[in-house]
Structure 1
Amino acid sequence: MQSIRNIAIIAHVDHGKTTLVDKILHTCNLFRDNEETGDLILDNNDLERERGITIVSKNVAVNYKGVKINIIDTPGHADFGGEVERVLKMADGVLLLVDAFEGPMPQTRFVTQKALSLGLKPILVINKVDKENCRPEEVHEAVFELFFNLEATEEQLDFQTIYGSSKQGWMSTDWRQPTTDLTPLLDLILEEIPPVPVKEGTLQMQITSLDYSSFVGRIAVGRVARGVIRENMPVSLVKKDGKIVKSRIKELYTFDGLGKLRVQEVKGGDICAVVGVEGFEIGDTIADFEKPEALPGIKIDEPTMNMLFTINNSPFFGKEGKYVTSRHLRDRLFKETEKNLALRVEESDSPDSLLVYGRGILHLSVLIETMRREGYELQVGQPQVIVKEIDGVKCEPVESLIVDVPAESAGKVIELVTQRKGEMKVMEPKGDLQHLEFEIPSRGIIGLRNAVLTATAGEAIMAHRFKSYEPLRGEIPQRLSGVLISMDKGSATAYRIDKLQDRGRFFVSPGDEVYEGMIIGENSRDNDMVVNITEGKQLTNFRTTSKDDAAKIAPAVKFSLEEALEYVQNDEYVEVTPHSMRLRKIVLKETDRKRKN
């Protein structure tokens, strides 16, 4: 039987996981010499390529010196922590990738803690040692300290370290002596990561992720914990609640390179994809037909934030989208919960809207962006954090926030964070930057990134992760300025925008269609103001000698989806359609808003 190693690659966002997997694939001669592959081969959906981040974890397999290595690439953002938590169950060891300058970051800590608690064997890869002002020795010390603080075992603390640059495609045991390829890393994996343990007993396989094919439907992916699984074999599916459903396996695939290979049987320890089992969920166990034994379920951290998703009922509804009814919206959201474990959907008091719970704004905005590309129209309300009652005290989620910023802007950042009830814990120099650590309520982080980037001229690097639930910290100031609201339906004119420019900054350009109650700009004062932006210039046949001055208009402010979600208040919606994104008041008519207040 061929020897197998299962490893997951974990790291903070942007430390080079997906690039490293690319280079491993090339080292193991997975492609012909003349084949065009491009970069970031595994980030294969449009959203991942545009944002340059991994959202969904993926499997590939390579053969090296006769050993099969299953590699799992995981996301680095804590918002997609649910992805990481479930796939670590398939691995026996982890490659912890750390940037040689930044060192271990908050999300590194989050995934490392999960990996160590599962008893996985770590290998430390210090990446990007070709960068200027890198500090590999200090980073090595910092990781050792991190492992110690996370209560790693003696064996885990005795980890091996390898240095290199995944972009340049080399790894070496000494960072001052570059090699030419990645073989030192692959050799280390074979030495250090334990071979798959062979357990005696009947079949057990936990489903840890799912794939979908338009031909055969849903495909279960997981690792065979013990026993052997064969094509056409009768099996039992053990659900989370203990219910047992009898089923039969139609087709079996193992991972081979970037694709799948159809096989007759898969032995314990390998990762495989199963076709033919109906009605499964992630965390269920495929077990023996006669004596089924379940594996312990997958525990996922609770969501910390929720948002109201509702149908688009603005005057412009149905102009761009294919799916606009509440039935479409409901079906799509409940379908998403099957594969997105950290997401929860609940009914609200109105039949047209649903409450969606997730890990953070990025987690929910990726879902909204995916839906709008599929042709859905919807509106979303302001993100709300989930408040729990613990021992009779109201508690809210608190996060650890790390900001690296040039020294001259540090004061502004500290002021912004403390206004939002953040407490400073650490302030120390790190290279030519100041390294600041805070504890701040999740409510305070909503809308903070924009303010910090504006105050530091875009030079701040921010990262945050959920820490724990703590007692409520009181009122947090929201948006400081009011908004400009359109009075009428029609097209925005350059003449009116020009005349109103000293009132604030605009989100629309001349010629954009607007409707009554739509938010078209930010007021320079703290109250909301209704303005007429659609009126043209009155033309008379009475000529004067003075010519018209040409209108000089500042360019409109354009929000990304996350920025828009952070900007809106609780009486406003973000309207999202396949081609446009608008901000609006929930109550469109001014008289109705006044009556409500």
Structure 2
Amino acid sequence: MSLRNVAIIAHVDHGKTTLVDQLFRQSGTFRDNQRIEERAMDSNDLEKERGITILAKCTSIEWDGGAGESTRINIVDTPGHADFGGEVERILSMVDGVILLVDSSEGAMPQTKFVTGKALALGLKPIVVVNKIDRADERTQEVLDEVFDLFVSLDATDEQLDFPVLFASGRNGYASDDPTAREGTLEPLFKKIVEHVPAPSADPDGPFKFLVTLLDRDNFLGRILTGLVFSGTVKTNMPIHALDPDGNVVETGRASKLMAFRGLERVPVDEAKAGDIISIAGLTTATVANTIADPSVSEPLHAQPIDPPTLSMRFAVNDSPMAGREGTKVTSRMIRDRLAREAESNVAIKVTESEDKDSFEVAGRGELQLGVLIETMRREGFELGISRPRVLFRDGENGREEPYETVVIDVDDEHSGTVVEKMSVRKAEMTDMRPSGGGKTRITFSAPSRGLIGYHGEFLSDTRGTGIMNRLFEKYGPYKGNIEGRANGVLISNGAGEANAYALGPLEERGVLMVGVGEALYEGMIIGQNAKTEDLEVNPMKSKQLTNFRASGKDDAIRLTPPWKMTLEQAIAYIDDDELVEVTPKSIRLRKRHLDPHERKKANRAKAA
């Protein structure tokens, strides 16, 4: 049986996970009567809810091309979002070819550029699939030209520029050389993979070598290491050792269990040969980027370097008056152990402990990546206090440097002026502006990451929810100076108790409320946004004094506007430097870092001095 290892790369929402579903069905991986979930590869709850791929996953299908010999195709579904790029870079070292999927209407987007650049730099040859050709607003030929221009801008070789093209609809399960086709099967895609992607160039006769690219845990087997066998053969219970990238022996042990991918399942196998993508259990400290090898091997395999983190947040023990009421994991030791596990398996995250041992600085690729980590911990029962994200500066040749992002915005023509104005306030420079059809304009900016924190909500309001913003780490560039933060102050509760309708009614005139009637409050908790720039302490618990006197008419029934309930990402982006987000399994609350008003004044005076 011949073997092919291929990765599918695409921008968020361009349909790669749906296409993999159809490849499963048409290769006979699922029985005809087998009930299978839509987007089967997105196994994580958060992936299903958000409709995005967060964790890279391996799978395998067998295809019989009709010539008698079947081919096993190992497919890796990669995350489309740049925040999870730590996964992508490692994954690409396991495969020999890539399928680049682009939407027939949206075309080549920033995240497409990110992953494709990594693939081309590794010398992988792409197969381009223009997906969703049955869309009413498809512009297939223009999109193909955009992809070619993208490859040229990424310094693709002549061989890489001579890429095969297929036109497909992943949802309807067909692919064709003809862009006008509207029915058929995915047979042409299977053929292109077998013809165009080379077989693994592994050494079957050398000593066993295996590079770890993914790490996960199993309650029964412990640490499971997934990667590609670069040379030799490994058998169950064979003695092995792990080498770090510098060649030092990390640990020795045995390959107690070998597992290969068959469809969506990981099944035990007795041996694996060069070129196979497998999982190994039996080691306790080996991690991502380590080389697992025969004890005679002393030279490690080259591991792909990872782009540095650009954003950090402070994860602290929840010290609010309501701490410990909703979560089960509230101590610094539990938080430390959980973050250490995360940093172990996710190489794009760096964790450092503060001197007071009660908080941890967690650095990552972006707000979405850290937001997903916080949401995952919250669902596991953790309570946390999260600070405002801050970018990580570095010292360059010309002084202080900060991270920049390429921002591509698709917006209705009528809103383009507002967007350009708001982005210029955030020190962004416009690099391109062109019509993108259907009364929309595509604007490209180079913007400091610092200025984009908290802008997405405002952007959606400015564009009436119709704008689409995509961001991608670009470079470290010169420090842009002071960027104005949030324009509005906040309403702060001056005591503890329950929110009262009689008190909230007049407060609505002061700004936008974030709490409803009957909600438990504490001193220093943020209950709303002030219409003015300064913070305002208010009493949201004040009730009406009851007397024996009757009003001449009935008291007007107090009608309150529904409170503004933020999602986790919105809350993290909204808060200022002196505020925290209190995250528990059931609630997301905003609060001041110093709950006592005297402490706040003292901190403000110290900051001003």
Question: The TM-score by the shorter chain falls in which range?
Answer: over 0.9
Structure 1 portions without partners, runs of 5+: none
Match of 1:38? 37
Q: Output the TM-score relative to the length of structure 2.
A: 0.97
- Matched letter for residue 55 of structure 2: V
Q: What is the CA–CA distance in structure 2 between the aligned matches of 1:246 and 1:452, rounded to whole Å?
A: 53
1:232-381 alignment, distance < 5 Å: 232-244=237-249, 245-381=251-387
1:4-43 alignment, distance < 5 Å: 4-43=3-42
Give RMSD over aligned pairs.
1.0
Deviation readout 1:352-382 (Å, 9 max, x if unpaired): 0110000000010100000000000010101
1:392-411 alignment, distance < 5 Å: 392-411=398-417
1:52-63 alignment, distance < 5 Å: 52-63=51-62
1:76-475 alignment, distance < 5 Å: 76-199=80-203, 200-244=205-249, 245-432=251-438, 433-475=440-482
Q: What is the CA–CA distance in structure 1 between the aligned matches of 2:234 and 2:395, rounded to whole Å?
A: 46
Q: Secondary structure at the match of 1:123?
A: strand
Is contact 1:238-1:284 (8 Å) kept? Answer: yes
- Matched letter for residue 210 of structure 1: L
Structure 2 portions without partners, runs of 5+: 65-69, 605-609
Q: Secondary structure at the match of 2:102?
A: strand
Is contact 1:236-1:292 (8 Å) kept? Answer: no
Match of 1:594? 601
Deviation readout 1:211-254 (Å, 9 max, x if unpaired): 32111101111100111111121122112342223221111111
User: Is 2:548 aligned against 1:541?
Assistant: yes
Match of 1:572? 579
Q: What is the CA–CA distance in structure 2 between the aligned matches of 1:268 and 1:547, rounded to whole Å?
A: 84
- Superposed displacement of residue 198, structure 1: 3.8
- Superposed displacement of residue 297, structure 1: 2.1
- Superposed displacement of residue 150, structure 1: 0.9
Deviation readout 1:508-562 (Å, 9 max, x if unpaired): 0001100000000000000000000011111101123121000011110011111
Q: Output the TM-score relative to the length of structure 1.
A: 0.99
- Superposed displacement of residue 595, structure 1: 2.7
Is contact 2:29-2:62 (8 Å) kept? Answer: no
1:518 to 502, 520, 525: 525
- Superposed displacement of residue 444, structure 1: 0.9
Q: What is the CA–CA distance in structure 2 between the aligned matches of 1:213 and 1:596, rounded to whole Å?
A: 47
Q: What is the CA–CA distance in structure 2 between the aligned matches of 1:589 and 1:286, rounded to whole Å?
A: 54
User: Is 2:72 aligned against 1:68?
Assistant: yes
Q: What is the CA–CA distance in structure 2 between the aligned matches of 1:409 and 1:535, rounded to whole Å?
A: 42
Q: What is the CA–CA distance in structure 2 between the aligned matches of 1:227 and 1:415, rounded to whole Å?
A: 60
- Superposed displacement of residue 179, structure 1: 3.3
Aligned-pair identity in percent equals 47
Q: What is the CA–CA distance in structure 1 between the aligned matches of 2:30 and 2:397, rounded to whole Å?
A: 59
Q: What is the CA–CA distance in structure 1 between the aligned matches of 2:342 and 2:201, rounded to whole Å?
A: 34
Q: Secondary structure at the match of 2:113?
A: helix
Match of 1:489? 496
- Superposed displacement of residue 183, structure 1: 0.9
Q: Secondary structure at the match of 1:286?
A: strand
Mean Cα deviation higher: 270-279 or 64-73: 270-279
Q: What is the CA–CA distance in structure 2 between the aligned matches of 1:95 and 1:544, rounded to whole Å?
A: 75
Q: Secondary structure at the match of 2:93?
A: helix
Q: What is the CA–CA distance in structure 1 between the aligned matches of 2:600 and 2:292, rounded to whole Å?
A: 56
Q: What is the CA–CA distance in structure 1 between the aligned matches of 2:96 and 2:117, rounded to whole Å?
A: 15
Deviation readout 1:5-36 (Å, 9 max, x if unpaired): 00000011110110011110011112222222
Match of 2:588? 581
Is contact 2:398-2:478 (8 Å) kept? Answer: no
Q: What is the CA–CA distance in structure 2 between the aligned matches of 1:515 and 1:278, rounded to whole Å?
A: 45
Q: What is the CA–CA distance in structure 1 between the aligned matches of 2:553 and 2:167, rounded to whole Å?
A: 72
- Superposed displacement of residue 392, structure 1: 4.9
Is contact 1:204-1:293 (8 Å) kept? Answer: no
Q: What is the CA–CA distance in structure 2 between the aligned matches of 1:210 and 1:357, rounded to whole Å?
A: 19
Q: What is the CA–CA distance in structure 1 between the aligned matches of 2:342 and 2:411, rounded to whole Å?
A: 38
Q: What is the CA–CA distance in structure 2 between the aligned matches of 1:265 and 1:257, rounded to whole Å?
A: 18
- Superposed displacement of residue 448, structure 1: 1.1
Q: Secondary structure at the match of 1:19?
A: helix
Q: What is the CA–CA distance in structure 2 between the aligned matches of 1:234 and 1:361, rounded to whole Å?
A: 42
- Matched letter for residue 56 of structure 1: L
- Superposed displacement of residue 347, structure 1: 1.6
Is contact 2:393-2:403 (8 Å) kept? Answer: yes
Match of 2:607? none
